[in-house]
Amino acid sequence: RLVEVELPEDIAGILEITGVVDSAGREYVARHQAGADPNHRFYSPEERDGRLVLWFDFSSHLELPPDSLTINYATTTGVAANAIEAGKITELYESHPGISAVVNIIPTAGAIPAKTGKQIMTEVSARLRNRDRALTFGEISRWAMTFDPRITSAVCENGVERAARGVRRCVVVRVTVGEGRLYSEDEVRLLQTRLTSFLKARSAVNTQYRVEIIKG
């Protein structure tokens, strides 16, 4: 008595499974996340032809499989969106004769997931308050939080790092990324490189950063 459920979205656009419950109200968790709770039941995720498939094994239970399974999951537009969601751009940077109103009907294209409204407001506030510059640990942390929606927290401290001619002072930036948001070490290194460049562009000349990624 095996039941499989295939999610319709491409697996690259699925961030995480946030909850699975059946018609009787019983909760299910991924088998690799099994804990001590005896009330939890399990499913096994599998990638198949670019889709995520969840397997449910009811062969060890006396009762019949449930009438229905409800799967809640989070998705992202991924690299198809960057910074501004559809319907958020309603003003022109410069006015043009004959154009009285504008609106973006699709997300703007780019290389990172779309930013939330809260992130945009935080970034705008930081730009206005500090003239696009990060001067204190608190400001650096706030800038880091605006960079990528996967970052859930950021803290800074003084540190040192090896350089070509010995050691040098640097600012250590530790950012926490939501569990399951980074799928490979290549993604971790890319986020470190991009965030470092982002912070250096908003700091005093010769400010050095060492970004550390903590998977939450």
Instruction: State residue 212's pLDDT score.
Output: 94
Instruction: State residue 156's pLDDT score.
Output: 93
Instruction: State residue 157's pLDDT score.
Output: 93
- Closest Cα partner for 205 from 134, 131, 138? 134
- How many CB atoms are closer than 10 A to CB 76? 19
Per-residue pLDDT of the chain in tens (216 residues, 90 and over written 9): 788 899 888 887 777 888 899 988 888 888 877 666 666 788 898 888 888 999 998 887 677 888 888 998 877 655 554 556 778 888 876 677 778 888 888 766 655 555 666 767 766 666 555 555 667 888 888 888 888 888 889 999 999 988 888 888 999 999 999 887 777 788 888 889 889 988 888 787 788 999 999 987
Architecture of the domain whose range is 117-215:
2-Layer Sandwich (3.30)
Instruction: State residue 127's pLDDT score.
Output: 59
Q: In this structure, what token pair is assigned to residue 18?
A: 């946030």
- Closest Cα partner for 19 from 71, 69, 84? 71
CATH 3.30.70.1350 residue ranges for the chain: 117-215
User: Whole-model pTM?
Assistant: 0.43
Grouping H, G, I as helix, E, B as strand and the rest as coil, residue 58 is coil
Report how far residue 192's alpha carbon sits from residue 194's, in angstroms, rounded to the nearest whole number.
6
Amino acid 182 reads L
CB 68 within 8 A of CB 95: no
Strand partners, 166: 163
